[in-house]
Structure 1
Amino acid sequence: MKSLRIFDTPTEVAGAVADRLAEVLAQHPRPVITFPTGSTMLPVYREIVARSQTGQLDLRGVQGIQLDEYAGVDDHTEASFRAWLHEHLLAPTGITAFHTLPAHDPTPAALASYEQVIASYGGVDLAILGIGGNGHIAFNEPGSPADSRTRVVELDRRTRQANERYWTDSDAFVPTRAVTQGIGTILEAREVLLIATGAEKAEILHEALHGPVSEHVPASLIRSHPHAEVLADAAAGRQPSDSSARESDRLSA
């Protein structure tokens, strides 16, 4: 693993993510990037959109790859991750090349085709990730194999509870299954950037970075990646026994 960087606020984390995205765009005119969803990413995407609209970032050449999605949803499901990304990132920045997971009908052939699309792009340049309260990355719940590929998974009860707020009375159901890039698929990206903000992520982030590297805490597996970096705010990055966070901490696998 490359490093852990801790900032005072989520706004500063957002700026650091946007800065790294600018560097990637300078290196690759059409970079392949995976984008996560969730409340952690809202300030990040606001910053990226703001820079896009002022001409500081041009994301129109980005090749977007979907990380995860609820199983059974389609383009008309308001609470789908695709719809969320379209609203908060894709439409405002002009990203039109976005390859979605075959969530509506995730047959083995469709899942294999999705993996082939990633290979046809030459692999992922930057995998941006969040971390779930139980340590999941994408929808790889605890116990997911380190070499897993894109597949259908059963969602952990805690994950479903955390995501219930996105489903309204007008939606048909709160899914119990999802389609996700596997951990093996994710770790093939040339660079991994994991984002964590908020005090509620402090304990699981500390476990992922300082506990055993284990499939029981999927996020811990990024420590095996030579170009993985974690960006956290002070609340998420604090040591459980500390009242304040360090500004920067270098880690190794």
Structure 2
Amino acid sequence: MLSATKFFRVDDLTVQIYNSETEMAQDAAEIAQKYLQDILTSRDSATILLATGNSQLKFLDALIKLGGVDWSRVTMFHLDEYLGIAADHAASFRRYLQERVEKRVQPKQFHYIEGDALQPLAECDRYTNLLKAQPIDLCCLGIGENGHIAFNDPSVANFQDSYSVKLVKLDAANRQQQVNTGYFPHLENVPQYAFTLTIPMICSAKKIICLAPEKRKAQVVKQMLQESINIKCPASILRQQPQATLFLDVNSATAAFLESELTS
């Protein structure tokens, strides 16, 4: 197992920094693998929430290549989906996870949010009932450039949300990020609304692995770790989650920590 170059806590949140995104992803994958193995040793099944986006690519690939997990005993959910997008759309999170995870590991079941459901509010209820049927063992997260986790943008984030799944309007920064990272050709192509698991639902997971590599995440990582815990940076709530670990590479950590601190 690789070791972080720096390891510390910010409030209740564990933070680990690595020399590269590849090392970060590999170590996070090994930690997730061991955790799932331990669960499946003591129980018949495990349940995980998966994120999408570029921050997850190397991690998911490393986790699958490690092997050693009986995926036929693992039930999977995902964190969010665009409203009105079909499962075969190039930017669909269902397609992302079907191609990168489900087809490769064949889990016990993968419950998807149906982004093109004819009754979106009923879809929220359906997915809520599925989520509440069992505890969530592991949640794998990313952080948006505006500080969102899942699609909980600052404008709609609620740390005491009474819902488990809800419909939200995406803010301009979030929609632009989807263009910048190549998932849509133009801003007008990005849906304005989406389904998202809420922050309390995410924080109910017994273990949270949050990956935030790359220079473009540096400023939001700094805000998350150094400013107050509030909905202006929804990811800051992870500082109140002792079951959570934030994985950074040196590029995403540079704004929050001096270079001398990173190597000390």
Answer whether TM exceeds 0.5 for this pair.
yes
Pairing partner for 2:115 from 66, 85, 103: 103
- TM-score in terms of structure 2 length: 0.85
Q: Distance in 2 between matches of 1:128 and 1:193?
A: 5
**Aligned 1:129-140 pairs, distance under 5 A:** 129-140=141-152
Question: When the two structures are aligned, how many residues end up with a matched partner?
Answer: 242
- The answer to whether the 8 Å contact 1:7/1:13 transfers is yes
The structural deviation recorded for 1:240 is 4.2
Q: CA deviation at 1:162?
A: 1.5
Whole-angstrom CA distance in 2 between matches of 1:173 and 1:236: 28
Residues 236/244 of structure 1: CA separation in 2 closer, same or farther (3 Å cut): farther
Distance 1:244 1:238 in 2: 10
Stretch of structure 1 that moved more, 91-100 or 173-182: 91-100
Aligned partner (choices 191, 202, 209) of residue 186 of structure 1 = 202
Shift of 1:91: 1.3
Specify the SS of the correspondent of 2:110.
Answer: strand
**Which piece of structure 1 moves more, 158-167 or 225-234?**
158-167
Structure 2 unpaired stretches of 5+? 1-11
Aligned mates of 2:244, 2:87 — CA distance in 1: 32
| 1:88-129 residue CA offsets vs partner (Å, 9 max, x unmatched) | 222122235111113222533321221111111x22111110
2:98 and 2:51 map into 1 onto residues whose CA distance is 12
Which one has more relative contact order, counting CA pairs under 8 Å at least 6 apart? 1
Aligned to 1:79, the other structure's residue is in SS state coil
Identity among equivalent positions (%) equals 28
Structure 1 residue corresponding to 2:75, chosen from 59, 63, 77: 63
Structure 1 unaligned blocks of 5 or more: 249-253
| Residue 247 of structure 1: how far off its partner (Å) | 6.2
SS state at 2:76 partner: strand
> Could you give the per-residue CA deviations for residues 41-86 of structure 1, whole angstroms, max 9, x where no partner exists?
111122123223xxx4443322111100001122232320110111
Shift of 1:198: 0.8
Of 108, 124, 127, 2:136 maps to 124
- Please identify runs of 4+ aligned residues in structure 1 that moved more than 3 A: none
1:166 and 2:198 are equivalent in the alignment? no
Give the one of 233, 238, 246 matched to 2:262. 246
Q: Is the aligned partner of 1:44 residue 2:56?
A: no
The one-letter amino acid paired with 1:100 is: Y
**Equivalent position of 1:23 in the other structure:** 34
2:3 matched residue in structure 1: none
Offset at residue 244 of structure 1 (A): 5.1
